[in-house]
Amino acid sequence: MAVATTRDEGNTARAGSERRAGSDSPSRPRKALTIGAVAKILSQEFDDISISKIRYLEDQKLLTPRRTQGGYRLYSQTDVERLRAILRMQRDEFLPLRVIRQELATGDFTGSRPGSEAAATRRAASVEAPVSMLAPEELLDQAGVSEGLLRELQEFGIVQPDRRDGRSVYDETDLEIVRAAAELSRFGVAGRNLRVFVSSADREAALLQQLVGPALRSRSQARRKEAIENLESLAAVCGHLKHLLLVRDLRRLKGD
């Protein structure tokens, strides 16, 4: 009877049969799967996957499996692929949950992810993600700018390299800053004109430090992790607000 019920996809509404179907056939993604079966499938690619982690992602509204009348979670093939995409974005691109949620909102999470250049751009704009370091010649080559422009940006504090073994080194965020400055330079914007952006960023950073600074210094790893996520979200809101204020002023300039 149990075998017949497992084969009958139309009876998956019965909790007991659904649990057997998910646990007995973890390699059959077309059937409804239990949370344990999903964890077993994904463990082949993600060593740190666990039932509690899947539940956490569900609590964060990133995943919404259907429930039986008995309250059991049942995952479809689409749910599994969505979860796989979430885990890959966390592992490969170091994206925070806020950004992952935005990516999933596009509805296209089963295709190929962005290439290494797009991933590096995302890391450059993330507070938490580790970034790669670049030698001066690497930055110049990837940004396609002259040494003169780089010196000018450093002179006015637009780019602030670190020192390693007596040499200046840059990260992916510096690279994106130089690229943006190079684009503005095509319109005659010089390095000294960009100091207004540095001043604005410094003021915003000081404000956010007041809001989340104590949590970032906490001895609790969980609290620090939450503070970093809040920092990401607050930075995104500040950036959006600044963009809206700029658009408003430009509309006035245009005469609307």
Q: Quick one: three-class SS letters along 15-38?
A: HHHHHHHHHHCCCCCCCCECHHHH
101-128 as b/e, with b when 16 or more CB fall inside 10 Å?
eebbeeeebeeeeeeeeebbbbbbebee
Residue 119 contacts by C-beta under 8 Å, 6 or more apart in sequence?
92, 93, 113
Using a 10 angstrom Cβ sphere, with 0-12 exposed, 13-18 middle and 19 or more buried, the burial of residue 130 is exposed
pTM: 0.57
The pLDDT, as a whole number, for residue 214 is 92
Cβ count within 10 A of residue 218: 13
The DSSP bridge partners found for residue 85 are none
Over its length of 256 residues, how does the chain's per-residue pLDDT go in tens digits?
A: 444 444 343 433 433 444 444 444 444 446 899 999 999 999 999 988 999 999 989 988 899 999 998 889 999 999 999 999 999 888 877 777 877 887 787 666 655 555 556 667 667 767 766 678 999 999 999 999 999 999 999 999 999 999 998 899 999 999 999 999 999 999 999 999 999 999 999 999 999 999 999 999 999 988 988 888 888 788 878 888 888 899 899 988 887 5
Nearest alpha carbon to residue 38 among 3, 6, 86: 86
Q: Side chain identity at 244, as an amino acid letter?
A: L
